[in-house]
Amino acid sequence: MALETDTMTKDPILKVDHLSMRFGGLMAINDLSFEAYRGDITALIGPNGAGKTTVFNCITGFYKPTMGMITMRQKAGKEYLLERMSDFEVNRDAKVARTFQNIRLFSGLTVLENLLVAQHNKLMLASGYTVLGLLGFPAYKKAAAQSIEQAKYWLEKANLTDRADDPAGDLPYGAQRRLEIARAMCTGPEFLCLDEPAAGLNPRESLVLNELLRSIRKDTGTSILLIEHDMSVVMEISDHVVVLEYGQKISDGNPEHVKHDPKVIAAYLGVEDDEVEEVIEQIEEIAVAAPGDTPK
């Protein structure tokens, strides 16, 4: 019951309504609805092929969903319908930043330059769309100095200051992950989407990453949505977990709730054919006993 009141007071930053995405005959996402709350770290989990990355690509404008609505509500109250915007507008206007499952850094640019590219739109405006900057107006110089300060701040946070002048492609894997997150944060987002940020990290690097994500939330108030397979990360840092299987939501709630949801256990571990009945019964029992336990 405590969860119920929790959701009441919470202010949704992202609302996904009846989202469906069809690739030819394949229904990658089927009528998915969930909410992410402001200031929360929301995790999107599910077995391989459940459609998590597809949801991400729909949210960040890289895919146009077949059906459904995705609403982003900024702190100031302005609302954006993300499914109608193209990928770069989702970042520029709606302030939703993302990272990628397979890291996409500008490997030939230095670490610092990566962070400066992320501040493109701000600098573009300050340079009068290049014209004033080309003529050497002081406004651009000031903005450029500011952008370097901003980059320094994130370098410090991601613990990359020593490598600032090295090419991004030269960094070890864990540092590349942190750089990608820092780069996304340099765009000044209100909502940060991370696609498997802990993939390929060793336990120590995972801990560092957890710290980074927590401090991002604490210091900037940015809400985070992450896809993750590493349950230690999910259970450790997320406030709210959404579980997908075959493009549908099978569970939604806090980590404790999701961990003990028989549907989730069945999805992850699988069940023998003869146990199917039993599991369904169990699920129904729970639903009858505590209808308020699953929010919405």
Partner 1 sequence: MANITNTPESAGSNLMARALREAFYAGLVALGLFVLFVGLKTDQNILNELILVQRWGLLAIFVVIAAVGRFLSVAYIRPFLARQKVTNAVTGLLPDSVATRFFRVPIVVVAAVIAILLIFAGNAIAAALPAVLVPWVTMIRALAIIYVLAFGFFYFRVYIAAHFNTLAIIALIFYPPVMVYFFGYQGSLKYVDNFGIQILIYVMLAWGLNIVVGLAGLLDLGYVAFYAVGAYSYALLSSYFGLSFWVLLPMAGIFAALWGIILGFPVLRLKGDYLAIVTLAFGEIIRLVLINWTAVTKGTFGISGIAKASVFGIWSFDVSATNNFAKVFGLPMSSAYYKIFLFYLILALCLLTAFVTIRLRRMPIGRAWEALREDEIACRSLGINTVTTKLTAFATGAMFGGFAGSFFAVRQGFVSPESFVFLESAIILAIVVLGGMGSLVGIAVAATVMIGGTELLREMTILKQIFGPDFTPELYRMLIFGLAMIIVMVWKPRGFVGTREPTAFLRERKSVSGSFTKEGHG
Residue numbers at the binding site for partner 1 (CB under 8 A): 60, 62, 87-89, 91-92, 97-100, 104-110, 112-113, 116-121, 123-124, 127, 130, 133-134, 140, 148, 152, 155, 161, 164-170, 183-184, 187
Closest to partner 1 by CB, 32 vs 155, is 155
Give the C-alpha separation, 231 to 237, whole Å: 10
- Least distance from partner 1 to the Cβ atom of residue 265, Å: 34
Closest to partner 1 by CB, 174 vs 189, is 189
Give the C-alpha separation, 244 to 232, whole Å: 18
- Least distance from partner 1 to the Cβ atom of residue 169, Å: 4
- Least distance from partner 1 to the Cβ atom of residue 152, Å: 7
Give the C-alpha separation, 249 to 269, whole Å: 17
- Least distance from partner 1 to the Cβ atom of residue 48, Å: 22
Q: Find out whether 45 and 70 touch, Cβ atoms under 8 Å.
A: no
- Least distance from partner 1 to the Cβ atom of residue 164, Å: 4
Closest to partner 1 by CB, 95 vs 240, is 95
For residues 203, 209, 214 and 215, what is the CA-based torsion angle, rounded to 10 degrees? 130
- Least distance from partner 1 to the Cβ atom of residue 281, Å: 45
Closest to partner 1 by CB, 152 vs 257, is 152
Closest to partner 1 by CB, 13 vs 151, is 151
Q: Find out whether 110 and 163 touch, Cβ atoms under 8 Å.
A: no
Closest to partner 1 by CB, 104 vs 260, is 104
- Least distance from partner 1 to the Cβ atom of residue 15, Å: 21
Closest to partner 1 by CB, 165 vs 274, is 165
